[in-house]
C-alpha cells in the first residue's frame, strides 16, 4: 500500500503515521503495510488522520478491536466518552481549535490496548504535531502508548492554559477601553459577548479532559505508575477551571458596566431633550396666548412685540434659574 496523501486548504497531510521502536530508536512509517511486520511490543502509537477505509481496517486488525466511528466519538453521554473492554480502553475528548473570532471543537478518539495507542482525528492539531517531533527526538521518554496518551493530555492542557491567558489579556484590554472612556457601542458589547462564548467553550473543553482523566484514575488497566501525573493534571485542570470562572465573572461585570454606560448616555440625551422642552414650554405658552385673534391685555400699545418678547425671555430665565438651583443642568 502506498502512502496516501490528501489536501485540505492547500495543506498536505499523511493519513496514517506509525511510531515503533527499532534498535533503541523511534522509527516512523506512513504506510499501513508495515503493521504486518510489527508486533504490539514494538509499536507505541498509531495516529489516524482522516484515514482511508483500508488504513482504518489495518489498524483495527493490528490492535484486535474496532475503532469507533466519528458519530460514536461525538456522542456526549458519559458512557460513550469513556469505556473499557477486557482488552482495551476507549476515550473520546474534545480538542479546542482557536479561530480568528470564535473557537470550534474537534472530537478525538483514543484507543489503548497492549501498550499501543491509536488516535483517530479529522483535522491537524498542534499538540499532536509537537509531540510527534519530541517522540522521534527523545524516544526513551515514550516507551509505551500510555505515556504518549498522558503526554498528549499534558500538551493539550498547556495549550488550553495559553488560550486562557490570551483571553485574560483580551478582557484586560476591554476593561482598559471602558476605563479610558473610549467609544462604547453595541459592537463593543457584541465583542464581549463573543469572548464570553469562547470562555464557556474553553471551560467545557477543560471539564471534558477532567472527566477523561478521572475515569482513567478509576481504571484498573491504566498503569499505577502514571497516577501521580494524572493527579497533577487534575490539579492543573481545577486551577484552569477556577481561572475561567473568574474570567467569565469579569466579563459579566464588564458587560453590565458597558450596558450601564450605554444607558447613561441614552439618559443624558433624553435629559437634554426633556430640559429643552421644559425651557421652551413657558415661551411657547405665551406666544400661544398672544397668537389668538382676540383682545388681550397690554395689546394695542405699539409695544406689543417687545412686551411679548420680554415675557418670553423672563419666563425662560426663571425656568433656567430654577433648574440650575436644583442642579438639574
Q: What CATH number is associated with residue 298?
A: 1.20.58
275 in the same domain as 145: no
Mean pLDDT of the chain: 82
156 in the same domain as 220: yes
Tell me which of 241, 262, 283 is where a domain ends. Answer: 262
What local confidence, expressed as pLDDT, does residue 236 receive? Answer: 93
* Number of domains making up the chain: 2
Tell me which of 245, 262, 279 is where a domain ends. Answer: 262
Question: Which pTM was predicted?
Answer: 0.74
299 in the same domain as 217: no
84 in the same domain as 48: yes
161 in the same domain as 19: yes
Tens of pLDDT, residues 53-97: 899 999 999 998 888 776 666 665 555 678 888 888 999 888 888
249 in the same domain as 303: no
Q: 298 lies in which domain range?
A: 268-325
38 in the same domain as 134: yes
8 Å CB contact between 70 and 107? yes
Residues of the chain with pLDDT under 50: 1-12
212 in the same domain as 278: no
What local confidence, expressed as pLDDT, does residue 251 receive? Answer: 87
275 in the same domain as 247: no
Q: Which long-range contacts (CB under 8 A, 24 or more apart) does 93-98 make?
A: 93/208, 93/209, 93/212, 94/204, 94/205, 94/208, 95/121, 95/125, 95/127, 95/156, 95/205, 96/160, 96/163, 96/201, 96/202, 96/205, 97/123, 97/125, 98/163
Tens of pLDDT, residues 30-50: 999 999 999 989 999 999 998
284 in the same domain as 173: no
Q: What percent of the chain has pLDDT over 90?
A: 23
309 in the same domain as 229: no
What local confidence, expressed as pLDDT, does residue 1 receive? Answer: 36
116 in the same domain as 155: yes
Amino acid at each position: 500500500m502506498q502512502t496516501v496523501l490528501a489536501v485540505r486548504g492547500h495543506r498536505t497531510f499523511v493519513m496514517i503515521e506509525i511510531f515503533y521502536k527499532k534498535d533503541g530508536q523511534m522509527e516512523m512509517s506512513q504506510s499501513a503495510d508495515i503493521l504486518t511486520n510489527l508486533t504490539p511490543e514494538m509499536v507505541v502509537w498509531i495516529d489516524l488522520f482522516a484515514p482511508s477505509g483500508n488504513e482504518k481496517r489495518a489498524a483495527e486488525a493490528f490492535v484486535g478491536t474496532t475503532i469507533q466511528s466519528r458519530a460514536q466519538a461525538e456522542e456526549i453521554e458519559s458512557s460513550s466518552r469513556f469505556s473499557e473492554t477486557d482488552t482495551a480502553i476507549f476515550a473520546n475528548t474534545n480538542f479546542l481549535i482557536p479561530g480568528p473570532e470564535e473557537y470550534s471543537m474537534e472530537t478525538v478518539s483514543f484507543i489503548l490496548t497492549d501498550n499501543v495507542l491509536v488516535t483517530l482525528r479529522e483535522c491537524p492539531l498542534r499538540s499532536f504535531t509537537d509531540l510527534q517531533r519530541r517522540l522521534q527526538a527523545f524516544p526513551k521518554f515514550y516507551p509505551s502508548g500510555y505515556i504518549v496518551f498522558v503526554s498528549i493530555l499534558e500538551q493539550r492542557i498547556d495549550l488550553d492554559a495559553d488560550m486562557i491567558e490570551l483571553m485574560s489579556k483580551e478582557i484586560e484590554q476591554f476593561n482598559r477601553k471602558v476605563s479610558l472612556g473610549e467609544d462604547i457601542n453595541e459592537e463593543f458589547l457584541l465583542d464581549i459577548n463573543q469572548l464570553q462564548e469562547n470562555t464557556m467553550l474553553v471551560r467545557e473543553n477543560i471539564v471534558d479532559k477532567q472527566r477523561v482523566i478521572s475515569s482513567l484514575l478509576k481504571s484498573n488497566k491504566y498503569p499505577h505508575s502514571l497516577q501521580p501525573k494524572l493527579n497533577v493534571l487534575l490539579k492543573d485542570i481545577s486551577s484552569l477551571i477556577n481561572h475561567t470562572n473568574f474570567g467569565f465573572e469579569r466579563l459579566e461585570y464588564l458587560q453590565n458596566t458597558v450596558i450601564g454606560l450605554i444607558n447613561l448616555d441614552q439618559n443624558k440625551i433624553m435629559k437634554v431633550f426633556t430640559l429643552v422642552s421644559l425651557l421652551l414650554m413657558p415661551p411657547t405658552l405665551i406666544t400661544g396666548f398672544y397668537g389668538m385673534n382676540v383682545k388681550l391685555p397690554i395689546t394695542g400699545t405699539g409695544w406689543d412685540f417687545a412686551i411679548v418678547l420680554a415675557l418670553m425671555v423672563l419666563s425662560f430665565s426663571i425656568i433656567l434659574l430654577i433648574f440650575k438651583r436644583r442642579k438639574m443642568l
